[in-house]
Each structure stands twice: as C-alpha cells, then as structure tokens.
C-alpha cells in the first residue's frame, strides 16, 4: 500500500456545531473525522446589497468575515479524506450551508466525492443509517433559502437607508419582523383604548346537614345576573336575607379528555413560556443542547429529535418503542392501536415532532446529568410524547343548583373516573388532573344561606403579547417558520423597537413611530396576508413548483417603484423623539437632551457637536452613597442589571429595574419582582428593608 493511499482512509463528516460533532464522532469510530462549520461560512456581504437585480437577482456570495480559517481547515481535511459527508441541519439553512461547502471544497479539490446526509435525531442508529444512505444536495431547498435570503436583503437594504435618511441613523426594517412589530403595535392600541367596565359577583356560604360549601349566584330572576354596581348586588342580598334554599337540580356530565400531540416548535416555545417563563430564544438554546448531545454518565447522546419542526408525525420505530414502554409501565393505559394525529395543513412535515430519542430515558433517570433548565424542558418533551400514545382520561363533572327565591346559586366539582394519560404527567400536570370536590347533596335537600360575599371586578381588555402568544399568532397567521419565531422576537428587542415588561412585549416610541411609517407608506410589506402569501410561495419554491427568481421579480418591480416614490415624499422625523430635560450638562452647563440610541434612551448635551457629553439616564438614587442608579450590562452575557454610577467606589447593584416610586418604609427606590410565592409585586430595593406590596396587602 502506498503512502498516498494510506493517508486517505477517512471520511470527513461536516456538521454545524462542535457539540454535535463531539456526539457524532463517538458513534462513528476511528475511520471518520467529524468537524464543525460553525454555521454559515459563505453568505452575502454585510456592506452592500450584493444582489444583481438586472440579471435574475443573482446573489454575490463571499466568505463570511472571520470564517476563512475554518473554511481552509475544512478544505484541508477534505483533501486528506476518501469522501466528504455534509451533515448540516435538515432544513433550508442547513441545505444552503451544505451547498456552499460542496462548492467551496469542489472548487479547490475536484474529484473528491461529496455527499449529503440528513437525520432527525443524534443517536447511533440514526447516524449510522444516514451515513449508509448518502444523497445529493436538494437544489429546490437551496433555492428556497436563496429566495428568502434575497427577498429579505432587498427589503432590508432598501427600507433601512430610507429610515436613516428620514428618521434616525442606524435603524433597520425587516420583512417578517416588521409584520410582527405591526401586530404588537396594534395590540398595544387595543390595550390603550380599552375602557374597563365594573361588575360584581355574589357568593353565598351554604350549609346543608354536615356539608358546608360556597356557591356562586348563577341566575337572578331566571336570567344571568348583571350586577353593574354595588347598589345592584346589595339589592339582591337584601331580597335574599332569610330566604331558605333547596337543591333544585343536579347535573352530571362525563367527558373524555384526549392527550395532546407531541410538540412542534411553536407549541414547545409556548408551553415553556407559560410553564417556566422561558423566552423563545432560551427555549431554543436549551433544545439545541438536548438535541446535539449531553453526557449521561458513560455515554454521550442526543436526547431529543430535531427541534425546528411544524409536524406532529412520529416514526414507526419511535411508536413501537413508546408503546412497548407504556405496555410495561402502565399496561391499562395502552390503547389497542397507536394514536394518530393529523398534520396541520400549513406544516411542511420535513421532520418528526419533537420527542425524546429514547423513551426509556425518563426525566428521573437524567436528573443528575442535566442542568435545572435542561431537565425542565426535557421533562415536558418526554411527558407530552409519552402521554400522546396513552389512553384518554375520563372525568365526571357534577353541577348543583340551589334555588333560593328568585336566585339560583351554583356549585360544581369534577372527579377523575379514569386517569389514562394523566398518570404520566408531573411537570405538565394541571388542575384538570387534580379534580375538585363538590358537596354530597341530593335534590330536595334544604340549604341554609348563612352569609353573602360580594366582590367587585372589572372587565379585562386584550392582553399584550408575550413570547408565547406572539409565536402562536405568527403560526396561526402563517408568518415565519419554526426556525424564525425566536429570532423575530430577539431582533425586535435588540433594535429597541419592543421591550419586555413583566414578560409582556411592549412597543417603544421608536417602534411605534417606525410601524406608523411602514403601515402608511409600505402597507404591502407589513400586511399580514401578503407576508403569509410570500411564505407560501417560498414553500412552493422548495417543492420545485416555481422558479425562485420569478417569485422575487414579481415582488421587486412594484416594491422598487414604491421605495423611490416614498423617498421623494416622506417628511423627515429626525429628532422627533428627542426631549429637553431638567438635567444640566456638568461640562458646559447647557440642558441635557433625552435621546434614543441603539440600546434605548440616554442623556446627551444639547450643545452637541461642540459638547459631546453623554451619559445614562438616572433611574433612582443609590441607597448606599446617594449617587445615580443607572442601567448597566454584564460584559460576558450582556444581561442588563442596575447599579450605582459611582462604581467601583460604590458597589451597589440590583437585577431588578427601579420603579418611579420610593419605599414608604425606608425611602429607598422600589423595584418590580416576580416569584412563585408572591407572583408579580413591588418591593424595596434596600436589602435591609422587607417592604413588599401587591394587591393582597392593599
């Protein structure tokens, strides 16, 4: 055997991330080299449009800045290999990464066999099966990514300069995130315009024999009660004093509760947000870790399937495994046949649902191998998948009516008849699984209405969007895809178009101004139906039913004319968000302006450019030294916190944002906190003061 032949005995496998490479390398053995591309190595340049609009929108690709070394290393590894297997993610972006790598390697080393492999989970069997069945690049999927990239570039690189010229330097507009911004701004308008209306409810403390319970007024004079003010409820109470009650009706209703299908991306983000308060970005980061591989004692394994999917489909192998597990652990809850779930009409169905790779790896088995947040996310994925293949739960709801004069009071409760899939739920358990009690009464039983309790309420208007609800809305309206939900929210927050307030997404003045301009002058670009139609067209490109350049041309021609017209007619908004304050510049004595920067508002001298003094806006007074409390960011993670401007002389800091209120006990500033025991509440920032305020202690 020659030396040359001896050096060419390995297959190079290229994945996207080092964590994934580490896991896969353990499965394939010594004859394979597994390397990471670290995502895109070749892309459009950031400095210019780089789209030839005169010649079928041909993109001009370059090596991404800072990635030349990685690309050269991969080319060198490819030269020493018998074959190259491109194993980037099985979606549009992953296909484009593989396509660019194939071209880059082939351009330097013609003749080296280059193939594509795809897999939905990182397990020994899935990886070895993929390696044994390599394919070619899916050109249609590459074209769909190219079309999306070109489309977004044309929108962003034409709208952004317009915003710079007319509003403020450094602004940008994106095709999909601008629609999300519009939804958030429109919801904010609904919130602000809502006028709450007062109404009252009436409960009665009831006694019948040895049973004592509380019932609520359900009917008054045979109609649903409309108690608009306290006088109305007082009038009802006055008429009911001393009136005897009797059980007039008992209704029993049995209900079958079906388990939910396994998670899709959007449903996972929604559930993690509602259950744990995770942002969409955090959920996807943790899911990526679980997918790429975690050390579980003696082995390293990918614990879940690919986390970007809009399908609820499950492989036959996974169905067989989970049914075998249920049959051993909960035989009474195993249905006769596998439970099937309909795939949504808009689903691309390229991947399975998000599920554990091995049902036998229960959350309890992994509690010592996973971080706290990893375990939380894995637990809900595991529970949702296993529950989806178990029998229905059955409940019986009993509703009891108590007639007292012209009033009907009602009490109800629910009993679990058959637990079914409820048996497996721990982290995902809800009040439905616990049931609720009801008094043991029979029709005709006498009931004594001992005491009445009235309570004031106000009608609730529309809620602001949270990560969970905006993702749900985007999915329902066909905007974006599983891979884009989290980035959409992140971009809006990073550009300071939206902020988070108690987990709600609130548009900033800048966000509202930009949205107003885009809605007025570019209604198509931020139109929900139009954007959803564009997403559908990208899908048809991936299905190889239309040419990607034809799709772009149809959009570009009218859009270009629109940009040119608006550039001539749009009035300037520069400086419209600036505001003179009472703060005085310590350098020149002129008033300071409140200005909007890349990361929010700051103070700048009104004497600019002669005086360039600028500083953060004081949010409160430091309780230790009397200095200004300002917003600061941690260097490593970029997380915002609040500390004294006199640092390092003063080390006071708090992770909670100061409110424009002072503590009534010690005079320090108040902050807003959220914990399981008290929920959202205001509290004193002074560690030595235990003042806390919420609705319960008003």
- Mapped onto helix, strand or coil, the DSSP state of residue 253 is strand
How would you label 484-518 residue by residue, b for 16+ Cβ within 10 Å and e otherwise?
A: bbbbbbebbbebbbbeeeeebbbbbebbbbbbebb
The string of DSSP codes covering 455-505 is: EEEE---PPPPBHHHHHHHHHHTT-S-TTTHHHHHHHHHHTTSEEEETTEE
Helix pair 175-193, 485-494: axis angle to 10 deg = 70
Tell me which residue of 628, 631, 620 sits closest to 668, measured CA to CA. 620
Q: Name the token pair of 382.
A: 């595991």
Tell me the catalytic residues: 306
Q: What distance in Å separates the CA atoms of residue 337 and residue 138, rounded to the nearest whole number?
A: 35
Q: Which residue has the tokens 């030839």?
A: 52
Q: Name the token pair of 610.
A: 């002669």
Q: What distance in Å separates the CA atoms of residue 590 and residue 583, rounded to the nearest whole number?
A: 9
Q: Name the token pair of 488.
A: 């959409």
Contact by Cβ (8 Å): 682, 693: yes
Q: What distance in Å separates the CA atoms of residue 275 and residue 269, rounded to the nearest whole number?
A: 10
Tell me which residue of 427, 401, 129 sits closest to 274, measured CA to CA. 427
| Long-range pairs, 280-286, Cβ under 8 A, ≥24 | 280/467, 280/471, 280/485, 280/486, 280/489, 280/490, 281/486, 281/487, 281/489, 281/490, 282/373, 283/377, 283/486, 284/486, 286/373, 286/374, 286/377
Q: What distance in Å separates the CA atoms of residue 507 and residue 499, rounded to the nearest whole number?
A: 6
- Mapped onto helix, strand or coil, the DSSP state of residue 163 is helix
Find residue 452's DSSP bridge partners: 204
Contact by Cβ (8 Å): 179, 479: yes
| Long-range pairs, 590-597, Cβ under 8 A, ≥24 | 596/168, 596/496, 596/509, 596/510
Tell me which residue of 611, 582, 606, 574 sits closest to 593, measured CA to CA. 606
Tell me which residue of 190, 187, 173 sits closest to 531, measured CA to CA. 173
Q: Which residues contact 550 (CB under 8 A, 6 or more apart)?
A: none
Radius of gyration (C-alpha) of the chain in whole angstroms: 31
């Amino acid at each position: 055997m020659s030396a040359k032949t001896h050096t060419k005995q390995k297959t190079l496998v290229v994945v996207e991330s080092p964590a994934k490479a580490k896991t896969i390398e353990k499965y394939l053995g010594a004859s394979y080299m597994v390397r990471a591309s670290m995502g895109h190595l070749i892309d459009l340049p950031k400095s210019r449009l780089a789209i030839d609009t005169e010649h079928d929108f041909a993109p001009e690709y370059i090596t991404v800045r800072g990635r030349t070394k990685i690309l050269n290393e991969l080319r060198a590894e490819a030269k020493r290999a018998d074959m190259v297997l491109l194993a980037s993610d099985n979606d549009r972006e992953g296909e484009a990464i593989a396509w660019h790598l194939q071209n880059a390697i082939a351009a330097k080393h013609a003749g080296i066999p280059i193939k594509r492999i795809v897999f939905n989970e990182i397990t020994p069997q899935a990886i070895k099966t993929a390696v044994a069945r390599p394919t070619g690049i899916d050109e249609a999927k590459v074209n769909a990514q190219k079309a999306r990239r070109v489309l977004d570039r044309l929108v962003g690189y034409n709208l952004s300069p317009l915003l710079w010229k007319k509003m403020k330097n450094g602004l940008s507009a994106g095709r999909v995130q601008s629609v999300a911004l519009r939804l958030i701004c429109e919801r904010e308008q609904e919130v602000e315009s809502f006028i709450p209306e007062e109404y009252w409810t009436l409960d009665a403390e009831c006694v019948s024999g040895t049973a004592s319970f509380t019932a609520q007024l359900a009917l008054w004079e045979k109609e649903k009660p409309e108690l608009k003010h306290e006088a109305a409820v007082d009038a009802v109470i006055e008429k009911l004093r001393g009136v005897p009650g009797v059980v007039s009706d008992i209704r029993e209703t049995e209900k079958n509760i079906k388990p939910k299908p396994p998670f899709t991306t959007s449903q996972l983000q929604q559930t993690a947000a509602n259950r744990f308060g995770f942002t969409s970005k955090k959920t996807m980061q943790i899911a990526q870790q679980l997918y790429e591989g975690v050390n579980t004692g003696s082995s390293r394994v990918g614990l879940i399937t690919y986390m970007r999917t809009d399908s609820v489909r499950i492989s036959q192998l996974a169905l067989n495994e989970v049914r075998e597990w249920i049959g051993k652990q909960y035989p009474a809850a195993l249905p006769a046949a596998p439970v099937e779930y309909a795939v949504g009409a808009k689903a691309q169905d390229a991947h399975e649902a998000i599920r554990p790779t091995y049902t036998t790896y229960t959350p309890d088995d992994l509690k010592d191998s996973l971080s706290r947040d990893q375990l939380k996310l894995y637990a809900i994925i595991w529970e949702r998948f296993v529950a989806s293949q178990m029998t229905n739960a059955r409940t019986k709801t009993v509703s009891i009516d108590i007639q007292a004069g012209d009033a009907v009071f009602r009490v109800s409760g629910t009993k679990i008849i058959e637990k079914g899939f409820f048996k497996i739920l721990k982290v995902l358990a809800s009040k439905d699984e616990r049931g609720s009690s009801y008094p043991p009464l029979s029709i005709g039983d006498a009931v004594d209405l001992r005491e009445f309790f009235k309570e004031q309420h106000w009608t609730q208007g529309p809620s602001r969007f949270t990560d969970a609800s905006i993702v749900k809305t985007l999915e329902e309206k066909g905007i974006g895809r599983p891979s884009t939900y989290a980035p959409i929210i992140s971009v809006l927050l990073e550009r300071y178009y939206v902020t988070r307030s108690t987990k709600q997404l609130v548009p900033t003045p800048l966000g509202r101004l930009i949205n107003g301009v885009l809605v007025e002058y570019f209604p198509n670009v931020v139109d929900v139906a139009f954007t959803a139609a564009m997403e559908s067209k990208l899908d048809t490109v991936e299905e190889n039913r239309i040419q990607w350049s034809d799709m772009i041309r149809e959009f570009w021609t009218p859009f270009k004319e629109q940009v040119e017209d608006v550039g001539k007619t749009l009035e300037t908004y520069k400086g419209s968000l600036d505001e003179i304050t009472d703060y005085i510049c310590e350098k020149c004595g002129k008033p300071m302006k409140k200005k909007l920067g890349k990361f929010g508002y700051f103070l700048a001298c009104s004497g600019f450019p002669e005086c360039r003094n600028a500083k953060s806006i004081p949010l409160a007074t430091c309780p230790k030294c009397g200095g200004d409390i300002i917003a600061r960011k941690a260097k490593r993670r970029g997380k915002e916190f609040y500390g004294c401007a006199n640092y390092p002389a003063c080390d006071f800091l708090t992770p909670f944002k100061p409110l424009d209120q002072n503590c009534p006990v010690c005079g320090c500033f108040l902050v807003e906190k959220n914990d399981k025991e008290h929920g959202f509440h205001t509290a004193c920032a002074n560690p030595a003061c235990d003042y806390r305020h919420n609705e319960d202690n008003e």
